[in-house]
Amino acid sequence: MRLPRYAAGMAALAMAGAALHAQTTMIPARESRSAVRAQHGMVATSQPLASQVGLEVLKRGGNAVDAAIAVAAMLNVTEPMMTGVGGDAFVMVYWSKTGELKGLNASGRAPQALTLEHFQQKGLKQIPVRGMESISVPGAFDGWVTLLNRYGTMKLSDLLEPAIEYAENGFPVMEKTAEDWNAEVEVLKRDAASTATYLPQGRAPKPGEIFRNANLAKTLRALAAGGRDALYNGEIGRQMVAYFQQHGGYITMQDLAAQHSEWVEPISTDYRGYKVFEMPPNGQGLTALIALNILENFDLRSMWQQQRDAYYHTEIEAMKLAFADRNRYIADPKFAKVPVEQLLSKQYAKQRAALIKPGTAIQDPQPGMLMQGSTTYFTVVDKDHNAVSFINSLYEHFGSGVTAGDTGIVMQDRGSQFSLDPNSPNVIAPGKRPFHTIIPAMVFKDGKLLFSFGVMGGGMQPQGHVEVLTRIIDLGMGLQEAIDAPRFRYDGGSRVIMEDAMGADVIAALERRGHRRASVPNVRSAMGGAQLIMLDPETGALAGASDPRKDGQAVGW
């Protein structure tokens, strides 16, 4: 789509920019650090080395897309449990010269050999989360190449070189990365190639330990030389398929060759004068927009000032209702009709908002009735204010737990997100894309890009989008403060994961309303990780913020 360039709206934009500028020049007491500011370019990722690699590309004259490809490859090396060539990607790109906003769906499909009948014959009610049956065709690398071919200015080989060097020579593992790695040791031990590649000493690397990945370095070098064909039609693909065949897998060379990314139009809603853009189904971005439409019917700022448990209660209930619709309607639109327009209707949002009761939690949220008719997120903005909002994922930490032989490629388990209910729009079928959790986002004001942002973390992602945006737009928090602020995570039924920083009194009041605080091993990890870059409409400068729940940072020049 092409976004209008409003001359008449510049006064309103300046006023909005002044307000946000005032907010973000403050250093609120609850911020972990100040927002990062720069003029010429900015990168915000979950890994400091990846942020530096992206920044170096910008300094060498590369644009936001060039930097994004280098970052994606680098994260494959430094955060291998979260992302990589064996996963999927969704990307949103804003091109400032033309005002064009495009989305790229680089999610893979079910292999032809995995059918509903296959699982029915085995008597399964749910697709296994780990192992060969959970693996869908990897779409990420095709997405990288497709993105670079359309918008990039640099060679793929040059952009992959930093990741290759770090994989060959090693890097010191970060603290939270080491924690996530160690939690998956037993999963990795189930697969011989995963054990050999990612547990070379029979254990996960410790914080600060130098980790080298010669197999992945060799693969990245082959991809740098051969491009898309090296994986989807060539030697890397043949190595992968050979390993699958030896160990009871299902993906064939025909499945790989058929994989192609798709350019799509982002979907949006207006939230209190801000245009929020998400990716369309098969992703869950629609969920965040539904929740924002519901919340627009409430005075969140007054609730925050007067009774914070009422504020959290209202947001939790809105997410419950949005998730009920998500679980009922979102699927691959090539195989099922997804009623996006009806779900985004403001009238529909009013009907859903009316279900929220001030003193009582909804115990059994149902979808609305309609008329028939470990992930990594990062963002880059360059000197021309082109912006990339990019998310790349294996789904679970280390995905399926399967590494494709000596390639070093960890395979995603996104196929586990298909349903085995024949009546579900998300029922598995050969060549079909599964329901997807990974969602990049952008926010515009009066036709101008204001934020490029995202929050990784499975089902936390639309909730994180809503929580970060409402804290900025409704509560007037600064960028870093909004990311640092305590979060909740609706976990199904009446279960809600809550950070202690919400306050014992607030949590107790929410429990009295019927919200049941869920216990998880690592609450901090359950809240995902946000990255955000703002284009200050008053000064033209960039401001970035990075989630302290992850290892990363925003950097600029």
The catalytic residues are 375
| CA distance linking residue 37 with residue 68, whole number of Å | 19
Pairing verdict, β 36-38 and 488-490: unpaired
Q: Is the dihedral of CA 475, 480, 481, 486 positive or negative?
A: positive
Determine contact, residues 355/316, Cβ cutoff 8 Å.
no
According to DSSP, residue 139 is labeled: -
Query: Pairing relation of β-strands 495-498 and 516-517?
Result: parallel
- The whole-angstrom separation of Cα 73 and Cα 54 is 10
- Residue 251, classified by CB atoms within 10 Å of its CB into exposed (0-12), middle (13-18) or buried (19+), is buried
Residue with tokens 């309609």: 370
Residue 420 φ/ψ, nearest 5 degrees: -105, 10
Spatial strand order of the sheet with 441-445 comes to: 36-38, 542-546, 529-535, 448-456, 441-445, 274-278, 267-271
Question: Which amino acid belongs to residue 388?
Answer: V
User: How many whole angstroms separate alpha carbon 444 and alpha carbon 53?
Assistant: 28
Query: Tokens standing for 219?
Result: 């693969």
Q: Helix 346-353 vs helix 285-295: angle between axes, to the nearest 10 degrees?
A: 70
Residue type, 169: N
